[in-house]
Amino acid sequence: AQVRALDRHHLRQVEKAHTRCDDAISPASWARLSDYRDAVAEELQHYETVLITGGNVVVLMNRLRLFGLDKQLRHKNIVAWSAGAMVLCEHIVLFHDRLPQGRRDSEIMCAGMDILPHTVVLPDPQRRLRAKDATRTSLFSRRFAPATCVTLDNGASLLFRGDSLLSSTAAKRMTRTGKFVRVRAA
């Protein structure tokens, strides 16, 4: 309960920092940015499907937010992987159990685009998670409940229509007991 309270506090602080940053931008800069936002929005009108690649999730979310794409992408078909899939979630969770300096506890980075509510996407779990540590994965799963923590190994895929899962290939979810089971469509 204390860690969840800390997560909520952190999210509020991040939102305040975003607001302070937005408020510090000069009106002239907002005007230029508005021109770019309008150009991106106009270009997106020509496409039904958008690809969101992986990369640095911090930079990716920053740019999506900067250009207001969280609102524009809600009505598009989206193909996303790695960090691109992470930004679609309600919250972006950073995790890595296999760092050179030792494992770290997972942390909520910030709010995501909330296109996939109640889902935490965990790309490249074979490299980043100690999946056999059932105590650790159980704590992880319970910490972010009621969200479903879904691992996406290479080749795994999820197909959603809105927030309804239509199909899943090789994706797994963490259970409250720390096990991993295949994700199945309802």
pLDDT of residue 33: 87
pLDDT in tens, 58-87: 999 999 998 889 888 998 999 999 999 999
Range 9-40 burial, b when 16+ CB lie within 10 A, else e: eeeeeeeeeeeeeeeeeeeeeeeeeeeebeee
Sequence spans of domains, the chain: 2-182
For the question of whether the overall pTM of this predicted structure is more than 0.85, the answer is yes
pLDDT of residue 38: 93
pLDDT in tens, 117-153: 999 999 999 989 999 999 999 999 999 999 999 999 9
Whether residue 27 is predicted with pLDDT greater than 80 in this model: the reply is no
Whether residue 42 is predicted with pLDDT greater than 90 in this model: the reply is yes
pLDDT confidence of 172, banded at 50, 70, 90? very high
Q: Give me the percent of the chain exceeding a pLDDT of 90.
A: 75
Residue 68 vs residue 14, higher pLDDT? 14
Could you identify the residue written with the tokens 């490299």? 127
What mean pLDDT comes out for the span 12-28? Answer: 88
Per-residue three-class SS string for the chain: CHHHHHHHHHHHHHHHHHHHHHHHCCHHHHHHHHHHHHHHHHHHCCCCEEEECCCCHHHHHHHHHHCCHHHHHHHCEEEECCHHHHCCECEEEEEECCCCCCCEEEEEEEECCCCECCEEEEECHHHHCCCCCHHHHHHHHHHHCCCEEEEECCCCEEEEECCEEEEEECCEEECCCCCEEECCCC
pLDDT of residue 25: 82
Calculate the average pLDDT of the chain: 92
Second CATH level (architecture) for the domain 2-182: 3-Layer(aba) Sandwich (3.40)
Whether residue 171 is predicted with pLDDT greater than 90 in this model: the reply is yes
Return contacts of 38-45, CB within 8 angstroms, 24+ apart: 40/67, 40/69, 40/72, 41/68, 41/72, 44/72, 44/73, 44/76
